[in-house]
Amino acid sequence: MGFNHFIKIHENDNVSITVNAIPAGTVIMDDVVANENIPQGHKIALGDIAEGEAIIRYGVILGFALQPIQKGDWINEYMLQLPTPPALDEMEFATNLVTDLPEPPVKTFMGYPNPNGGYAGTRNILGIITTVQCVTGVLNNAVKRIKQELLPLYPNVDDVVAINHAYGCGVAINAPEAAIPIRMMRNMVKHPNFGGETMVISLGCEKLTLEMILEEEEISPDNIVILQEVKGHDAIISEIMTMANTKMKKLNERKRVELPLSDLCVGMQCGGSDAFSGVTANPAAGYAADMLVQAGATVMFSEVTEVRDGAHIIAERCVNEEVGRKLVSEMKWYDQYLEKGQVDRSANPTPGNKKGGLSNIVEKAMGSIAKSGTSPIVEVLSPGERPTKKGMIFAATPASDFVCGSCQLSSGMTLQVFMTGRGTPYGMAEAPVIKVCSRNNMKDMWEDLIDINAGPIATGEATIQEIGTLLFNEIIDVASGRKQCLAEKYELHNDFTIFNPAPIT
């Protein structure tokens, strides 16, 4: 790998990416001279490439040249034909199980024990679940007053969060795929950061009934406000505030205690990716993930369309055939889901991805997988499903930042690490989000929005291991409440976004 003008990942690569924008005439390496101005992070041909010949980065075929390419040419998204994705029924499982993982500096954190069992909380939040979008306006009014009048009375309660969403009615609630949004809502009720306190706001006539998301013993006036049974706006606000006050008194008694990292669940996600993401930010996150797994923690990575072209790489890391078959099932489901919309995984990359040097979904996928590190994959989850194992988990979700984050929350994630190359103020109210950028320019631009800068890896000023260890320590500090991440400081909270592949009626 070179760090002067270019970065070449694999010895078989016939392209490299530029560390900075370079003008025509720049000598890249040996006898490679840029034939034209090449933007930062974009590919330059290291040799002549004939029409139809493979273009290789990460040691894999990104695509096939649609025209003859000369050594020193700029290669962009218009010059590649997308290859066929890996055949799901021909993949091998458990052939690359790495157990020699980096040792973590610590193996404990300060968290909140979960009264429901399972993962511990990293925050102490009153989470108010809604069964339908219709109640959003009234609940928002109530939450505003709760924060003003009640929250100051309970110093151990971090926040009050309304789980508003665009679901609950006007939907085909009995359609097979409705299982996904229903599962997400059912699991959010018991999110570890909510401390076992159940509070649900219902309209009273919606299709998503209380029985669908609550246990029988939870369906009680102590936990539910049904708006159609309360006389008027002010009475509704009063009843919500009274219930919230009772719940917050209990939450205020929660205390952080030292817990093993086996009680922590961290999500990995990337958004606004660029060509550096797979070289700096994502590998550093992968190194931190390996440390977490070595310490006993659970780490989730996701985004089906962003790993589909590397499905065979994930399959090799699945610990057994059962896990591998679940991976195949989830990938096939998503292939079919996209086909119904008359698209395929090539619909994923954004204009920003391409401007940042990512020519197609294959290139994006190779970088995306890097955030999962190298450890064995012990379980594969359907969207919003709860884990039953601890270790590295592939949680199958859409790649949409907001939907992926919401699915990971529903699966019990209590802290997320979010890698970005182009930049995004993404954040969540329900769990802290640590931002990692892939290049120095991004950190310079958004000094007060990016927590960790992985850019020095590209310039040779730091190693993946060094930034990965820095990120690991940041995760422990934020999970333990010793630090706030910047998205948390500025309350940059995106909507809770349910994944609903079922029909809307």
Q: In the prediction, which pLDDT does 92 show?
A: 96
Q: In the prediction, which pLDDT does 284 show?
A: 98
Interacting residues of 212 by C-beta distance below 8 A, sequence separation 6+: 173, 182, 185, 186
| pLDDT tens-digit series, residues 12-26 | 999 999 999 999 999
Instruction: Indicate if the pLDDT at residue 56 is higher than 90.
Output: yes
Residue with tokens 């990995």: 268
111-251 has the same fold as 6-84? no
Instruction: Indicate if the pLDDT at residue 231 is higher than 70.
Output: yes
Q: In the prediction, which pLDDT does 28 show?
A: 83
DSSP one-letter string for 392-435 = EEEE---S-HHHHHHHHHHTT--EEEEEESS------SSS-EEE
Instruction: Indicate if the pLDDT at residue 1 is higher than 80.
Output: no
Instruction: Indicate if the pLDDT at residue 295 is higher than 90.
Output: yes
Q: Contact, 254 vs 156, CB < 8 A?
A: yes
| pLDDT tens-digit series, residues 195-222 | 999 999 999 999 999 999 999 999 999 9
Q: In the prediction, which pLDDT does 3 show?
A: 43
Instruction: Indicate if the pLDDT at residue 5 is higher than 80.
Output: no
Q: In the prediction, which pLDDT does 4 show?
A: 55
Instruction: Indicate if the pLDDT at residue 257 is higher than 90.
Output: yes
Average pLDDT score over residue span 72-77:
95
Which of 109-118, 173-182, 353-362 is predicted most confidently? 173-182
Instruction: Indicate if the pLDDT at residue 316 is higher than 50.
Output: yes
Q: Contact, 35 vs 73, CB < 8 A?
A: yes
Domain 111-251 belongs to what topology?
Rossmann fold (3.40.50)
Q: Contact, 125 vs 161, CB < 8 A?
A: yes
How many Å apart are CA 491 and CA 505, to the nearest integer? 34
Interacting residues of 324 by C-beta distance below 8 A, sequence separation 6+: 91, 93, 94, 315, 318
Average pLDDT score over residue span 395-416:
98
Domain 6-84 belongs to what topology?
2.30.130
User: pTM score, two decimals?
Assistant: 0.96
Q: In the prediction, which pLDDT does 2 show?
A: 41
Average pLDDT score over residue span 285-289:
98
| pLDDT tens-digit series, residues 105-159 | 999 999 999 988 899 999 999 999 999 999 999 999 999 999 999 999 999 999 9
| pLDDT tens-digit series, residues 417-444 | 999 999 999 999 999 999 999 999 999 9
Q: What percent of the chain has pLDDT over 70?
A: 99
Q: Are strands 452-453 and 433-437 parallel, antiparallel or unpaired?
A: parallel
DSSP one-letter string for 454-478 = -THHHHTSS-HHHHHHHHHHHHHHH
Instruction: Indicate if the pLDDT at residue 29 is higher than 90.
Output: no
Q: Where are the domains of the chain?
A: 6-84, 111-251, 274-489
Average pLDDT score over residue span 226-236:
97
